Amino acid sequence: MPTTTRTAVSVRQLRSGDERNFVYVLVDGPSREAMVIDCGGEVDPILSVVKEEGLEVRFAVATHHHSDHTATIWQLSQLLDAKIVAFKGSPLVHDVSVVDREILHVGATAVKVLHTPGHTEDSICLYDGRNLFSGDTVLIGSCGRTDMPGGSARKMYRSIQTVILRLPGGTMVYPGHETYEVASRTLSEEMKQNPALSAKSYAEYLRRCKGDYTRP
């Protein structure tokens, strides 16, 4: 179970389901409060982490409404007494609606909501000052597909350019799916090796990502 740690925050990265999803448990060390980011199709791995580490889960956050990220979110919410969080207007039934740049507090840890439409209209990333939980917006070596209902390559490119690439290069990117030989890496590494992030124009982005289920 890969773990990234800094002074008060740690990240548990769990694999879940048949679509190689990643689920995350973000833990505020001193308070032992936590946030689950996406839930995939299994609750038992999440419950095991929560029990073993004595965590109090405040939020179950959906980076977007697709079922491979949310299939068990209500079950998880009920078992852990956690509030379901989704972007305002999301078709996912939820307890707490958030908007761009809103802050969610887990203990003393502030987690910023970043609205990043492109994969879906309700897509968000979560940023705690060092770690970016990118859902299906940025994957390692690529980006999320835009050929499904609610998808837009133009919005994806805009989200990458105006949101993702404005974060510090040392930001650790944690994606929503396992798509590469590494499970996470820094934004600066993605900027060098990810064709979706290194494209200098929308036309170049379309050329580079043509095979990645991209729809203009």
Distance CA 176, CA 15 (A): 10
In a domain, 213, yes or no: no
In a domain, 216, yes or no: no
Q: Which two tokens stand for residue 144?
A: 């999320």
* Mean pLDDT in consecutive groups of 10 residues from the start of the chain, 216 residues: 58 88 96 96 95 98 97 97 98 98 97 98 97 97 92 96 98 93 94 94 90 54
Q: What angle do CA 150, 121, 162 make, to 5 degrees?
A: 125
Q: What is the pLDDT of residue 3?
A: 44
Tally of structural domains, the chain? 1
Give the domain extent around 60: 3-208
In a domain, 215, yes or no: no
CATH of the domain at 71: 3.60.15.10
In a domain, 200, yes or no: yes
In a domain, 54, yes or no: yes
Q: Are 117 and 152 in contact (CB under 8 A)?
A: yes
Helix extents (H) in 144-193: 153-162, 187-193
CB atoms within 10 A of CB 129: 14
In a domain, 88, yes or no: yes
Distance CA 107, CA 8 (A): 10
Strands 9-16 and 3-5: antiparallel
In a domain, 10, yes or no: yes
Helix (H) or strand (E) holding 75: helix 73-80
In a domain, 179, yes or no: yes
